[in-house]
Amino acid sequence: MAALADSNYLAQFSAGERDGSTHLRTEILSGLTVALALVPEAVAFAFVAGVHPLVGLYAAFIVGLITALIGGRPGMISGATGALAVVMVSLVAEHGVEYLFAAVVLMGIIQILAGIFRLGKFMRLVPHPVMLGFVNGLAIVIFLAQLSQFQVPGTAEASGHGMSGGEWLTGWPLVVMLALVALTMAIIWAMPKLTNAFPAPLAGIAIVAGIVIAFGIDVPRVGDMASIEGGLPQFHIPMVPFTWETLQIILPYALILAAIGLLESLLTLNLVSEIVHERGGASQECVAQGLANTVTGFFGGMGGCAMIGQSMINVKSGGRTRLSGVSAALFLLSFILFAAPLIEQIPLAALVGVMFMVVIGTFAWKSLTIMRKVPLTDAVVIVLVTVVTVATDLATAVVVGVIVSALAYAWQNASRIHAKSYVTPEGAKVYQVQGPLFFGSVEGFGEIFDPANDPRRVVVDFAESRVADQSALTAIEALATKYENAGKKLELRHLSPDCHQLLKKAGQLMVDSDDDPDYAIAANYQVRTGVLHAGH
C-alpha cells in the first residue's frame, strides 16, 4: 500500500499540477490501461466458472460501468473475479449457466438490501492486522495467478482453469517471455522518471506489444486464450422455472456470492480510500454492486465485484474519478465489438509485467519490518490471514482473521477484570470494579467477592466498568443471590439504564435508575453519583 502512495506518485497527479485537459487525458488513458488488463482476467475467470469467455467479458463491462457511475469510491474498478468464479463452477456444472444467471440476479438483490440496511458499516470491525494480511495474501495470489501465463497455450478450455494445466514453457520461449516481462516492468519503473504525460503501465503494454508485432516474435498472446469478438450483450430473462425448487437451488449460491462480493468490494474500497486519502461510501458501494449484478444477470453476465488488482492499476495510472472506470468499461466493450483482432495480438508477457508491478505496489512491505514490534497476536493474525488467503480465498481469510482477533481481544479483556475494595466509616464494604464485564470475564468477576466474610452491607461500584452482555447480567444476578442467601444487603452503583431494564425484566433485582449514568457508547463513561439498591 505504501509503495503506491509514494510522494513522487502523489505529486504527479495532484490537483495543483494538472489542468483540465491533462486530467481528462490521464483518466481516459488510465481506463484504457485497465481495459487491456481486464481482458485476459475476464477470460480466465470465465474458464474457471465453466462458462463462455464472453460471459466473463460482459460481466466485466456491465459491472464495471454501473459501479463506476454510482459506486461508493470513484476510481475503483469492478468486474468478473476469481473469488466468485470458484463458487460458480459447481452451480454451472450441476444445473447449467441459466441457473447461474438467476443466482447472479438474486445475489444483486441481496447486495442492494445490504446497502439499504447499511450493513457495510460492519467493515469497521476488520482490524488493521487483518487488512495487512489480506493485502499481502492478495499480492501473492495475484503473483501466482500470473504464473499460469508461463504455460503452453491451447490447454485453457480443456483444463477449466484459464491457462493452467498445460506444460510449462522451457528453453528459448521461456527466456523470451521472461525478457518481455522484465522489459515491461522496466518501462513502468522508468517512465515516471522521464515523463508524466502517459500512464506508465499503458506505455509498457504499448511498447512491448509494438516490439512483438513488429518483429513477429512468437510468444503467447491474448488471442491464444480465446477469441474476445462478440456483439452487444442482449437482455435475457434467465430460463429457469420460477418455482420453490429453483429458489432452493440458487439461494445458497446467491448468499455466498453476495457475501464474498461485498467483502472483497468493501475491503478494496478501504484500501483505495487509504491510498487516495478520501473516504468512500460503504453503503453506496453495496447498492452499486447489487444493482450491477442484478442488471448483469439479465444480460448474460457472470456477475462480479471489485477487483483489487485492476483498481491498483487504475490508481497507479492516475485514475481518481468516475471517468477512469467508465472509460475502462467502454474501452472493453469497444474491444469486443470492433478491436478484437488487434487486442488479441497483445502479448501476455506485457500484461504479466503490469500485474507483477501491481504485486510489488500492493504488498505491504512495511508489515515485514513491524512484525517484531507489534504484539504477538497481531503478528500471528497478519501471517494467518496471508496464508489463508493464498490457501483458500479472500473472504475466508478475512473472516478467520476477524474471529481470531476478536477472540484474542476477548481473552485480553477477560484478564483485566479486577476490583479495589475499602471499608467506609459506616462499616460498608465497597468494591470498585475495573475492567469490562462480559462473557469472558464473568468467572473472574465472581471470584472477586467474598459473600461469607463480607459485612452486612456491600456496595459494588461499576463507575470504571461496563456491563456488556447477558452473561454479565446473569453474573450480577448470581452475585445478588449469594449475598441475599447470606442475609446481607447488596447495593449496585453506576449501572446504565440498559442494565436497569434487563435486570428489571429478570425480576431478580429491584432497581431505581434515576441517578445512574447514560452511556452513549460503550467507551463513554459519563458517571454521575448515585446508588442502586438490590434486593427484595
**What is the per-residue pLDDT across 42-87, written as a single tens digit (0 to 9) for each?**
998 998 899 999 999 999 999 999 999 999 999 999 999 988 998 8
User: Is residue 14 predicted with pLDDT exceeding 50?
Assistant: no
Distances (CA, A) of 530 to 419, 460, 500: 19, 12, 13
The DSSP bridge partners found for residue 421 are: 431
| Rounded Cα gap, residues 285 and 39, in angstroms | 24
| Rounded Cα gap, residues 140 and 359, in angstroms | 7
Reading the block at residue 278, the C-alpha cell is: 478520501
Higher-confidence residue: 374 or 517? Answer: 374
Q: What is the pLDDT of residues 195-220, one digit of tens each?
A: 877 889 999 999 999 999 999 999 99
Listed residue (349, 110, 330) closest to 209, CA to CA: 349
CB 89 within 8 A of CB 255: no
Q: What is the pLDDT of residues 215-262, one digit of tens each?
A: 999 999 999 888 999 999 999 999 999 999 999 999 999 999 999 999
With bands split at pLDDT 50, 70 and 90, how would you rate the model's confidence at 517?
very low
Model pLDDT, residue 148: 85
DSSP state letters, 223-261: HHH--------------S--SHHHHHHHHHHHHHHHHHH
Beta pairing, strands 429-437 & 418-423: antiparallel
Beta pairing, strands 418-423 & 532-534: unpaired
> What's the mean pLDDT in 114-121?
90
Q: What is the pLDDT of residues 142-171, one digit of tens each?
A: 898 888 888 875 444 433 334 445 688 888
Distances (CA, A) of 294 to 70, 107, 263, 444, 531: 14, 7, 18, 51, 57
Listed residue (354, 320, 355) closest to 26, CA to CA: 320
Model pLDDT, residue 164: 46
User: Is residue 521 predicted with pLDDT exceeding 70?
Assistant: no
Q: What is the SS3 assignment for 389?
A: helix
Range from 2-6, 215-219, 288-292 carrying the lowest mean pLDDT:
2-6
With bands split at pLDDT 50, 70 and 90, how would you rate the model's confidence at 512?
very low
Helix (H) or strand (E) holding 493: strand 489-493
